[in-house]
Amino acid sequence: MANKPNIPKGTRDFGPVEMAKRNYIFDTIKSVYALYGFQQIETPAMETLHTLMGKYGEEGDQLLFKVLNSGDYLKKISDDELAERNTLKLQTKLCEKGLRYDLTVPFARYVVMHRDELQLPFKRYQIQPVWRADRPQKGRYREFYQCDADVVGSDSLLNEVELMEIVDTVFTKFGVRVQIKINNRKILTGIAEVMGEKDKIVDITVAIDKLDKIGLDNVNEELRNDGIPEEAIEKLQPIIKLEGTNDEKLDVISKVLNESAIGLKGVEETRFILNELKKVGLNNEIQLDLTLARGLNYYTGAIFEVKALDTPMGSITGGGRYDNLTGIFGMPGLSGVGISFGADRIYDVLNALDLYPKETITGTQLLFINFGEKETEYCLPVVNQARKAGIRTEMFPDSCKMKKQMNYANAKNIPFVALAGENEINAGKFTLKDMTTGEQCLISAEELINRLKS
């Protein structure tokens, strides 16, 4: 007996209903991006490892899916190298490509390669799948879609303000209450300076970014394991526990960082963004969270994260400014800022809260029953008219028992069924059945189409 087929852990199939829901998500996000002047691009699923490695920190590098070289990939590997089993050394010879980990680094590569074609500032959006060799769990997949928007070629903080407006608009359209968290990597760098551990900035930010997941005690233990002295850890505690309004937090942290120029610059940038958003008036709360670190190495300024308030889920949107990213590819000085909607997590949130509008997941609206060749010839012109009128319409392909055809309509949740037998044909009309109420009426083709359109 043949083994049943399966799919890799952390990946999913999506049927018609799921795809209708996902397209609702993608179309909503696309429509908001377009409102703000963003243009769509796409990049390959695979990038060279030279492009990907070293851009996501040590943890990120380990989560990259590497692609074996095509052909005889062992040809250049000696028996001694195989026996040595040095994974990192073998990897450099066996793999030249990897599946993209996110959309931001490929976008930076795209900007460098196509610089002469771009009008700066360049506002792009990109909706494509990414892959991470992560441990699958609820809300975390190995293959998932990101819906990114980025602006490059502008240092203005108005870009950050605009991106937060986009976040607020998208989740307002979805009907999802969210909390938008904001911080600044310059503030975190200032905190590391005040702690006297400037060289440990990456270790500190990676640790405190896990506060929500592992708790304060475990964060402190991780800091100790990274070689952070107890005195420095003590200085960090009141900052991590800081409470109050956004303005109150900024006032306190500006005093703490009064001897750190870069820290004060981060406070200034954050205050500007928050003040401008007050003038705009968001529907959702925006909160300064000094524990928000986002471990990716490339963020240099403002950082953002969004969480749903009414259902447990991890971050469903994130992003920030990455001034130095294109410098890695030979184009220094080009500033960028972006956000990424986690479409798969948003999908789960909308499912959990039952927030999909009914019309977005309705497929076929009208089914014509097939009684035979003569009846089909009578129905087909009206099927065509209905489609031209924008009504999603099917003609059942086979002349079979009516019960089977009605079961098909019920299984697909088709709300209306049209029947044309000998009596209807003689009268030049159709019987239209409402599958929800069971009501039937005898109407003309024109009346049928007008009723379905309304």
Residue numbering of the annotated binding site for L-histidine: 102-104, 132, 146, 150, 294, 298-299
Q: What DSSP string runs through 245-312?
A: -HHHHHHHHHHHTTT-HHHHHHHHHHHHHHHHHHHH--SSEEEE-TT-----TT--SEEEEEEESSS-
With 0-12 CB in 10 A as exposed, 13-18 as middle and 19+ as buried, what is 439? exposed
Q: Decide: 343 and 127 in contact? Cβ < 8 Å.
A: yes
The 10 Å Cβ neighbour count of residue 285 is 13
d(CA 102, CA 148): 9
Strand order in the sheet with 46-48: 46-48, 95-99, 66-68
Residue of 31, 27, 21 lying closest to 360 (CA atoms): 21
SS3 118: coil
SS3 8: coil
User: In the structure encoding, which two tokens stand for residue 119, read together?
Assistant: 């009008």
**Residues placed in the known binding site:** 102-104, 132, 146, 150, 294, 298-299
d(CA 87, CA 94): 10
Please list the residues that pair with 151 across neighbouring strands: 123, 337
Give the amino acid at 242: L
Residue 57: which region, alpha, beta or left (left: phi > 0; alpha: psi -120 to 50)?
left
d(CA 397, CA 301): 59
d(CA 305, CA 316): 8
Alpha carbon 151 to chain centroid, angstroms: 17
